[in-house]
Structure 1
Amino acid sequence: MTQVRPVLVLTHVPHEGPGLIAAGVDGPVRVRTVLDDPDPRLPALGEVSGVVVMGGPMDADDVRHPGLVAERRLLAAAVDADVPVLGVCLGMQILALALGARLHLRHGSEVGFAPVDVVADDPVLGALGIRPTVLHWHSDAVDLPSGATLLASTPTTPVQAFRAGSALGLQFHPEVTRSMLDLWLATPDMTSALDPDEVEAIRADGATHLPTLVPAAEKAFAAFGELVRARG
């Protein structure tokens, strides 16, 4: 029996795990955190069926976290090798840097539930609809990598999602479940810049929007899982 290769999930903080992505993959997942490792031993691309890079509060180009350089190298190689890649929030910014795009620190803050305009078709992102209301939690932004297709945008953050070959980058957080949102809102690192009324507004908006967003996100990540399983 052929052994199924796992999906590598790179995390940066304990509370920003893969969430709904893991269920969509519907197969083995290997979670690693290499953020502060100057010489991380990451698996060879031939050993994985996909690569997922999650969010975190650090800057994508922060030299104080040497593992980010290794993540960038891995993502560039994965795109070259046509390995399915998914980058979320910080993960999208690392992906964009790996593909030669510029990072813009403190470009504009978006925190909470708000719509994004989907501007192009994509087999994964398309499951969310044309103007889904999603969870944002960022202040940095990136330029569109050369040759990539812009998929979604907001006035504050022109590049909210892009497709570059086998790679999909998402600046927002469709992976979040209700329990994950509760965890984020109880995590000081996530809420230190918010006042109590803003925290409660996000909680209330989650109760309103997640019942629609979660089933759509499940379909989106199932589509990503199909790309992963096609690699084997």
Structure 2
Amino acid sequence: MKQTVLLIDHPIGQRDDRASRMLQEMGYAIEWCSPGRGDVLPPLDSDFKAAIVYGGAESANHTEDKAYLRVETDWIGGWAETGRPFLGICLGGQMLARALGATVSRHDEGLHEIGYVKIDPTPASKGFLGDAMHVYQWHNEGFEVPACAELLASGPVFRNQAFRYGANAYGIQFHPEVSRPVMERWMREASHMLEEPGAQSKVAQLAAAARFDAPMEAWLRGFLTRWLA
């Protein structure tokens, strides 16, 4: 029987991402769960190989306003303690950071990261990021690295771009799962965000995608392979 990876998304999530496609190509079954749409998170002792929590329009700080975010954050903290593979992407990474006691906040100068941004590996990033890479971003908040975790990648605007807790729980700020069609949909459906300080124009993002999307996709495939080995 195939091993199953749990995929947790949020109310405006789009499920034609490349991570879910890659997992199926690698021979895994996937199961979606959306607490914000009323789905119930599985027990922590359920038989899932790994869990991925995707991004969303919510803030990780809105746990008092949105009860499902509080439940989800608590669940993430519990899952991280099981030692099974976990990946939090953007909002998912911020929720992992909060579950581990760190803060999530806006940039001091009100900047956003929207578009392709270069990130650099840290000394602790062996096996995660070998060389500097341009990655896709879409966010206006960032996480501090929990005291119990290691910083794996840094950037010029939001310094903290990736961290690891324990052997196999990762929080990342960027969006390697976003395919070109999804990127174009985001720019179309949230075009007002391209006017925010720090956001790259549509023309600049499309030009950058032509250069950087394929290497980012290759990185994600390699990461998923190592992560689930």
Aligned counterparts of 2:49 and 2:159: Cα–Cα separation in 1: 30
Question: Which residue pairs with 2:186 in the alignment?
Answer: 184
Q: Tell me by how many angstroms 1:94 deviates.
A: 0.5
Aligned counterparts of 1:221 and 1:197: Cα–Cα separation in 2: 28
Higher relative contact order (CA 8 A, sep 6+): 1
Question: Which residue pairs with 2:20 in the alignment?
Answer: 22
1:176–1:34 distance in 2 versus 1, CA, 3 Å: same
Question: Which residue pairs with 2:52 in the alignment?
Answer: 52
Q: Tell me by how many angstroms 1:96 deviates.
A: 0.3
For residues 63-212 of structure 1, the aligned pairs below 5 Å read 63-107=64-108, 108-119=111-122, 120-123=124-127, 125-126=128-129, 129-165=130-166, 166-188=168-190, 191-195=191-195, 198-212=201-215
Question: Which residue pairs with 1:7 in the alignment?
Answer: 5
Structure 1, gaps ≥5 residues long: 227-232
Name the SS for the 2:31 alignment partner.
strand
Name the SS for the 2:201 alignment partner.
helix
Contact 1:161–1:169, Cα closer than 8 Å, also in 2: yes
Deviating more after overlay: 131-140 vs 58-67? 58-67
Q: Tell me by how many angstroms 1:115 deviates.
A: 0.4
Q: How many residue pairs were aligned?
A: 217
Aligned counterparts of 1:193 and 1:185: Cα–Cα separation in 2: 8
1:164–1:58 distance in 2 versus 1, CA, 3 Å: same
Determine what percentage of the aligned residue pairs are the same residue: 27
Contact 1:24–1:224, Cα closer than 8 Å, also in 2: no
Aligned counterparts of 2:73 and 2:2: Cα–Cα separation in 1: 25
Higher strand share: 2
Q: TM-score by structure 1 length?
A: 0.85
Q: Tell me by how many angstroms 1:216 deviates.
A: 2.2
Contact 1:149–1:163, Cα closer than 8 Å, also in 2: yes
Deviations 1:171-196 (A, max 9, x none): 011112222222222223xx222149
Aligned counterparts of 1:213 and 1:5: Cα–Cα separation in 2: 25
RMSD over equivalenced CA pairs, Å: 2.1
Q: Tell me by how many angstroms 1:15 deviates.
A: 4.4
Name the SS for the 1:95 alignment partner.
helix
1:103–1:197 distance in 2 versus 1, CA, 3 Å: closer
Q: Tell me by how many angstroms 1:56 deviates.
A: 1.0
State the 4+ residue runs in structure 1 displaced beyond 6 angstroms. none
Deviating more after overlay: 154-163 vs 15-24? 15-24
Amino acid of the structure 2 residue aligned with 1:46: D
1:36–1:106 distance in 2 versus 1, CA, 3 Å: farther
Contact 2:11–2:37, Cα closer than 8 Å, also in 1: no
1:67–1:115 distance in 2 versus 1, CA, 3 Å: same
Q: TM-score by structure 2 length?
A: 0.86
Name the SS for the 1:58 alignment partner.
coil
